[in-house]
Amino acid sequence: METCKRAGRVLVVGAGQAGHQTAAYLRERGHKGPVTLIGDEGRLPYERPPLSKAYLKAEVEASDLWLRPETFYERNAIERVTGTAVALDLATRTVRLADASLHPYDHLVLATGARARAVPVPGAHLCGVHRLRTLADADALRSALPGARHVVVIGAGFVGLEFAAAAREMGHRVTVVEALPRPLARVVSAPMAEYFARLHQERGNELLLGQGVARFHGNREGRVTAVELTDGRRLPADLVLAGVGAVPRTELAEGAGLEVAGGIVVDGRLLTSDPHVSAIGDCAAFPHPRALARLRVESVQNAVDQARLVADRLTGSDRTYDDLPWFWSTQFSARLQIAGLGGGHDTELVLGGDAGSFSVLLFRDEELVAVESVGRPADHMAARRILAQNIPPALWEAAVPGFTLQGHLRSRAGRPVPAAA
């Protein structure tokens, strides 16, 4: 185990949610050695979730997104360096930035996140074809949206649908093109996907499901004018959001010879194939006791909890990562909350009949693995406690009329359940 003293100089590459949190937790836990946070965005570390929600609608400003003010880093002796890390030398334990400066470390934390995936079709470079990963991306969308007449989203994942909801609330009728037969297909159950599909349609957005994109058309000035679908149809478009997922930023790790497979490969302690290098957050592929295979998770919870684990390890408290995954998304006034990992589930049980307020319990081999809730924050909080404490209801118990997650938790834990998230 690396003790506080042995951790010495900690270098964090990537000044996003996970990188910031690592530095903050290290100081909170009494780490005395130097801590350096290297980021290539030239801004204070900020939270990304509002970029596709409140920030897009100008309900909050950039300064509302900073995770901590400038003075926090000064007060806590966290050195912030702006630059892109381009090379990692495991033998000499140094990171080189694009400006050729060298940064030595005793322990390196890779928190390089992910970048937005491009749509791999002709015309993807045209002006007016946007992505949404950074504050700069959101700023570009914020300035383009007021003048846009035909808004098209490619991909009905969380970012695409959150953007479509925000744009609709700003008065645009959005067409969402999705290659799979239902929205959010990889991330939520069929009943939940159907609810969000209906919600968008009822609010006036159009969903074109099971449709691929063949190319983007542009005018002489290089501006996008239309999206051509694989069935030959052309949708007029002057603002397109490519919301087709994110690719982990693994190039630094790969260049150094660290193991990379769908993310920077780490063990249960979040250590890479080099014991002096950890990887956390969106860039890391990690084992989890609740998962069938190695996972890469894009969520704030994952970034924060993994940062905490690494800071704990570097200050003398070692453990294996098994924190319960949870997630949220807001579209229109609907707040979706997910506890657990639903991948590979075989049974769905819906609690609550009201369309705007229900939960879906997901079972695998009769074991509760995840709960998706919309408009039922008390269900979500109960589900988190039930799953984290490993006191799930059996499938037959949950199927009994009148079953509630809060009632189940009370009966097992004997403690009151918090009313809301």
Ligand X SMILES: Cc1cc2nc3c(=O)[nH]c(=O)nc-3n(C[C@H](O)[C@H](O)[C@H](O)COP(=O)(O)OP(=O)(O)OC[C@H]3O[C@@H](n4cnc5c(N)ncnc54)[C@H](O)[C@@H]3O)c2cc1C
Nearer to ligand X, 47 or 259 (CB): 47
CA dist., res. 49 & res. 38, Å (int)? 21
* Near ligand X by CB under 6 A: residue from 10, 27, 37, 49: 49
Residue among 17, 175, 189, 250 that touches ligand X (CB under 6 A): 17
**Amino acid at position 173, single letter:** R
**CA dist 54 → 137, 252, 321, 322 (Å):** 14, 33, 32, 31
Nearest approach, Cβ of residue 40 and ligand X (Å): 4
Distance CA 95, CA 373 (A): 43
Per rule CB under 6 A, is residue 338 in the interface with ligand X? no
What distance in Å separates the CA atoms of residue 296 and residue 249, rounded to the nearest whole number? 12
Check binding of 372 to ligand X (CB under 6 A).
no
Could you say which of 31, 93, 103, 133 contacts ligand X (CB under 6 A)? 133
Detail the DSSP E strand segments found in 44-202. Answer: 78-82, 85-89, 94-97, 102-104, 107-110, 114-116, 129-130, 151-154, 174-178
Tell whether residue 176 is a contact of ligand X (CB under 6 A). Answer: no
Cβ nearer to ligand X, comparing 85 with 164: 85
Site stretch for ligand X (CB under 6 A), options 112-120, 146-154, 190-198, 212-220: 112-120
| Residue placing its CB nearer to ligand X in the complex, 132 or 369 | 132
| Sign of the CA dihedral with 175 first, then 176, 177, and 183 last | negative
Q: Is residue 263 close enough to count as binding ligand X by CB under 6 A? A: no
Window contacting ligand X (CB under 6 A); options: 49-57, 149-157, 288-296, 413-421: 49-57
**Is the Cα dihedral 248, 21, 327, 242 positive or negative?**
negative
Q: Which of 66, 72, 328, 403 binds ligand X (CB under 6 A)?
A: 328
Applying CB under 6 A, among 31, 37, 112, 175 the residue interacting with ligand X is 112
Q: Give the residue, chosen from 35, 78, 108, 111, that forms a contact with ligand X under the rule CB under 6 A.
A: 111
Residue 308 Cβ, how far from ligand X at the closest point, in Å? Answer: 13
Residue 321: phi, psi to the nearest 5?
-75, 115
Residue nearest to ligand X (CB): 16
83 or 392: CB nearest ligand X: 83
Position 204: which residue type? G
Helix (H) or strand (E) holding 224: strand 224-229
Residue 377 contacts residue 406 (beta carbons within 8 Å): no
Altogether, the residues listed in the chain come to a count of 421
245 touches 232 (CB < 8 A): no
Q: How far apart, in whole angstroms, are the C-alpha atoms of residue 180 and residue 60?
A: 33
Q: Give me the least distance between CB of 263 and ligand X, in Å please.
A: 11
Binding mask 26-45 for ligand X (x = CB under 6 A): ------------xxxx----
Report the alpha-carbon distance of residue 157 to residue 155 in Å, rounded: 6
Nearer to ligand X, 173 or 335 (CB): 335
Q: Does 132 bind ligand X (CB under 6 A)?
A: yes
Q: What is the DSSP string of 170-208?
A: TT--EEEEESSSSTTTTTS-HHHHHHHHHHHHHTT-EEE
List 159, 174, 310, 349, residue binding ligand X (CB under 6 A) = 159
Interface with ligand X (CB under 6 A), residue from 157, 281, 325, 392: 281
Interior angle at CA 63, CA 61 and CA 66, nearest 5:
120
Instruction: Return the residues of window 198-227 that contact ligand X according to CB under 6 A.
Output: none
- In whole angstroms, the minimum distance from the beta carbon of 13 to ligand X comes to 5
Is 15 among the residues that bind ligand X (CB under 6 A)?
A: yes
Q: Does 24 bind ligand X (CB under 6 A)?
A: no
> What minimum distance in Å lies between the beta carbon of 114 and ligand X?
6
Interface residues toward ligand X, by CB under 6 A: 13-19, 38-41, 48-49, 51-52, 84-85, 111-114, 132-133, 159, 249, 252, 281-282, 298-301, 303, 327-329
